[in-house]
Homo-oligomer: A and B are copies of this chain.
Amino acid sequence: MRMAELSRVTGVPVATIKYYLREGLLPRGEVTTSPNQARYGQEHVRRLALVRSLVEVGGLSIAAVRAVLAAIDDPAVPLHDTLGLTIDAADAPAPAVDDPLHAAAAARLDAIVAERGWRLSPDPLARRAAIDVLATMQRVTGDRLTGLADVYAEAAERIAEADLDTVTAVEDPETRVETALVGTVLGERLLAALRRLAQEHVSAQRFPPPSRETPCPPPPDPSRP
């Protein structure tokens, strides 16, 4: 198909497709005899859907998407490395800060990791991100929030098991990596949104809102006139 049809099929504007081509996020189409009339196939449809989800919904940078796609496309990169790269590319790297708050946060995190028996690579980006958050929580709210890390780590492990169950069930290697990638990036958004909804529910239970309308109309009460 030509670019106009690729745009129609995928719902991605032509200008965006051209941008992804320029940025190397989408392979060039097959050149035809007519100049400026490359042909695109199903692999372009699929790749466009992936890129769009990572950029638009996942919020990944163009550079992060490029790094991840390069790893997916390189058969020499073993699956575990691709997953690791996926995971790292989706993280905004936190600066390595060297102060007492960060040192204490690192000790707290490492204790949790050790207690759960997690075996990790030497210094994954996510470790630095977690340390940065814990140090900031401590700075702003003292000890009040940092104790949540244990509950979160336990939940995170259950979630990761489910994530990997899903990934492992996919047989085709390319689809598997794609599933891992989308699951990591979008799953984070899903989890955050569900936590907000759950917070609203639990918060409304504990602090009943007197001024708010009830979300659903009450069932009809037969004892009422």
A164 to B151, CA, bound (A): 13
In the complex, A15 has a CB within 8 A of chain B? no
A144 to B165, CA, bound (A): 11
- The digit string for A175-208, where 1 denotes a CB below 8 A from any CB of B, is 1001100111011111111111111111111111
Number of interface residues of A (CB under 8 A): 94
Which stretch in A22-30, A36-44, A61-69, A210-218 binds the other chain?
A210-218
Say yes or no for A209: interface residue by CB 8 A criterion: yes
Residues of B within 8 A of A224 (CB): none
B202 and A160 within 8 A (CB)? yes
The residues of A with any CB-CB pair to B shorter than 8 Å are: 49-50, 53, 56-57, 78-81, 83-84, 87, 90-91, 113, 116, 118-122, 124-127, 129-130, 132-134, 136-137, 139-141, 144-145, 147-149, 151-153, 155-164, 166-170, 175, 178-179, 182-184, 186-213, 215-216
Selected A-B contacts with CB under 8 Å, 29 pairs: A57-B136, A78-B209, A81-B211, A122-B213, A122-B215, A126-B196, A126-B200, A129-B189, A129-B192, A130-B193, A133-B186, A136-B182, A137-B182, A137-B186, A140-B182, A144-B169, A145-B182, A147-B166, A148-B187, A151-B158, A151-B162, A152-B187, A153-B198, A160-B199, A160-B201, A168-B206, A188-B192, A191-B195, A192-B192
